[in-house]
Amino acid sequence: MNPVFRPLRELAEALRARQVSPVELAEAFLRRLETLGPRYNAIVTLTRQRALVEARRAEAEIAAGRWRGPLHGIPYGVKDLLATAGGVPTTWGAAPLRTQTFDFDATAVRRLEQAGAVLVAKLAMVELAGGMGYRQPSASFTGPGISPWGADAWSGGSSSGSGSAVAAGLVPFAIGSETWGSILSPAANCGVSGLRPTYGRVSRHGAMALCWTLDKLGPLALTADDCGLVLDAIAGPDPHDPTAARRPFRYAGGEAVGRRFRFGVIRDVAATAEAAVREAFDRSLETLRQIGTVEEVTIADLPYEAITRTILMAEAASAFEDMIESGAIAGLTAPEDRFTAYARDAILAKDYIKALRLRAFVVREADRVLSGLDALLAPGRPAVAPPLDREFRSAARGNLPDVMGAIGNAAGLPAIAVPNGISDAGLPISLQFMGRAWEENTILAAAQAWQGITDYHLHHPPEVS
Amino acid sequence: MGEPGRHASEVDLRLALVRHRYGGRLSPEQIDDLRRAVEAIVEQAAALGTVRLANSDEPLSRFEPFRSDE
């Protein structure tokens, strides 16, 4: 069988039925990573040795009838901000940290190993997850992330390689992280599904800290169902991360069948989006009426973006204080990343505390709006992938409106971005479902239902299909 | 963004701190860039100030007393 662009359940079934072996699968995806990965600047390190050890173990276990579940024997990649043992570098995308290593696996990596998944690559990312204020795609020592949908199209960031590797069929799924937009943006620009879980759903132990109160880890994959299967493996409490919630999580796959949903749309949420994105969003609202109701909702007038941005900038300045004060940021790739963070010394403690006080308002307002809904809808991103050689607008920098992202990340809410068509320029457009806290199963069901009545997720970049 | 120059003196004062700490590493072009970044920070703080807070509105961050034996 050709394993490329197969949903996880199909791969799992083929592995369990021994139509394909974990070693064959690992070799096949390692070959694709080697040959196609450089085209998209998607890879930092191939973990061939570890992959083959894990694949051989999976092969023996499956042959002995010890099947661990739907990820057993399935290759995957992780954003290179997750620690991995064994001398494999964990670079955080930053040139000064090219040789950084850890002697332990991040909890998410350890959980995937326990699920029998096979780590084949550490994937490229924007340096320091974009926390230094980058303004253009070329902000990683591995080069600008490129979307498989266009040689001149940015993959999005900061989980750049996690998006492009899934979109190009280099891995069946990948792990990314989001502080503000870093899963949804590459999912949108690369035309794949990307799930940002509720804050605390997945342990951050072993992950680079950008903002302690905003960082989340989550999967990027071909379908919403795939994202659910991966979340099932990585979610849960962790004694090494006090912010990891004690709430148990089990993915309720298949819940979407026959279900009706109640969707909300914040007034004018797509008003500033590009025309192609706005038109696709309007069309999608009509399509979604096949599986539920769509109503306009209003939210309180609060400075959502200023609140989230203040928290992000202040915590990032503290998280990277050593690199900033020592001047080590001068070794970063994007010229603006070499000095822009110095401005963060101008944030007053009072302003940070005020943002944290206002965050309580955001949390309550988001819950009020979402308490009567299954999900809020919005474009996954307000624009298609920008060209590589141009500065882009960014909500985190303050020149792109993103109320959904500001609310969703400040309130720690789950959201999933899924494909919503292709623009006239041949670039993917995305739709997001954002849910109430801890309602991953609800938004996954909605996104799965969406993918049951559309076929956008079945389209793949022409040059790799 | 607010009207240009509305917070000019505030920006100057905060930028002075940045220049004091890092000025030796910065080119004039970079300082111009940082001025714009500090302007944005001051505007952001002003936006936060548009919401009235009560004394009882606590920051949303959790502090827990610690004992190593529990």
Q: Write down the ipTM of this complex.
A: 0.90
Q: Rounded distance, CA A246 to CA A256, Å?
A: 26
**Coil vs helix vs strand at A156:** coil
CB contact under 8 A, B58 and A133: no
Mean pLDDT over A168-173 rounds to 98
Phi, psi of A221 (to 5 degrees): -160, -175
Q: Do B17 and A345 touch (CB under 8 A)?
A: yes
Min Cα–Cα distance to chain B from A128, Å:
19
A452: helix, coil or strand? helix
Which residues in chain A touch residue B45, judged by CB atoms under 8 angstroms apart?
306, 310, 347-348, 351, 354
Chain A nearest C-alpha distance from B57 (Å): 6
**Angstrom distance (rounded) from CA A379 to CA A390:** 22
Residue B3 has pLDDT above 70, yes or no: no
Chain B contact residues (CB < 8 Å to A): 14-15, 17-18, 21-22, 25-26, 30, 33-34, 37-38, 40-42, 44-45, 47-51, 53, 57-61
The CA distances from residue A168 to A47, A172, A375, in Å, are 18, 10, 29
Q: Give the residue from B40, A14, A392, B56 showing the smallest Cα distance to B48.
A: B40
Residues in Cβ contact with B60 at an 8 Å cutoff, skipping those fewer than 6 apart: A356, A357, A359, A360, A363
Tell whether the model's pLDDT for residue A323 goes beyond 60.
yes
Select from B34, B45, B53 the Cβ nearest to the Cβ of A357: B53
pLDDT tens digits along A10-38: 999 999 999 999 999 999 999 999 999 99
Which residues of chain A are within 8 Å of residue B49 when distances are taken between CB atoms?
Answer: 354
Task: With CA atoms as reference, report the closest residue to A349 among A303, A315, A382.
Answer: A315
Q: What is the pLDDT of residue A394?
A: 74
Beta-carbon separation of B59 and A398 below 8 A: no
CB atoms inside a 10 Å sphere around CB A69: 15
Q: Among all residues of chain B, which has the CA nearest to that of A364?
A: B60
Domains of chain A with bracketed CATH: 8-301+358-458 (3.90.1300.10)
Q: State yes or no: pLDDT of A265 exceeds 60.
A: yes
Section A228-257 average pLDDT: 91
User: Which of A310, A323, A337, A339 to mutate against chain B (most B CBs within 10 Å)?
Assistant: A339
Residues of A involved in catalysis: 79, 158, 182
Give residue-wise pLDDT tens across range A363-413: 999 999 999 999 999 999 999 999 999 998 777 667 778 999 999 999 999
| pTM value surpassing 0.90 | yes
The residues near A22 (Cβ < 8 Å, ≥ 6 apart) are A15, A54, A55, A56, A58, A59, A62, A72, A73, A74, A118
Contact A145, A130 (CB under 8 A): no
A51, pLDDT greater than 70: yes
Residue A129 pLDDT > 80, yes or no?
Answer: yes
Pick from B18, B57, B60: CB nearest A346: B18
**Which chain B residues are within 8 Å of A348, Cβ to Cβ?**
45
> Is A360 in contact with B60 (Cβ distance < 8 A)?
yes
With a cut of 50, say whether residue B1 has pLDDT above it: no
Element (H, E) at A196: strand A193-196
Query: What pLDDT shows up at residue A393?
Result: 77
Q: Determine the residue of chain A that is closest to B52 in CA distance.
A: A358
Taking CA A51 as the corner, what is the angle to CA A210 and CA A119, rounded to the nearest 5 degrees? 30
Query: Which residues are CB-neighbours of A420 under 8 A, at least 6 positions away?
Result: A280, A281, A284, A379, A380, A429, A430, A431, A454, A456
pLDDT of residue A257: 67
Tell me the chain B residues in contact with residue A336 when contact means C-beta distances shorter than 8 Å.
33
Q: Which of B41, B43, B57, B63 to mutate to test the interface with A (most CBs of A within 10 A)?
A: B41
Q: Return d(Cα A168, Cα B24) in angstroms, integer.
A: 45
C-alpha–C-alpha distance, residues A16 and A61, integer Å: 10
Q: For all residues of chain A together, what is the average pLDDT?
A: 96
* Strands annotated E in A86-151: 118-123
CB contact under 8 A, B45 and A310: yes
What pLDDT digit, counting tens, does each position of A134-162 carry?
Answer: 999 999 999 999 999 999 999 999 999 99
Confidence of residue A256 (pLDDT cuts 50, 70, 90): low
What percent of chain A has a predicted confidence (pLDDT) above 90? 95
CA distance B5 to chain A (A): 17
Average pLDDT over residues A283-288: 98
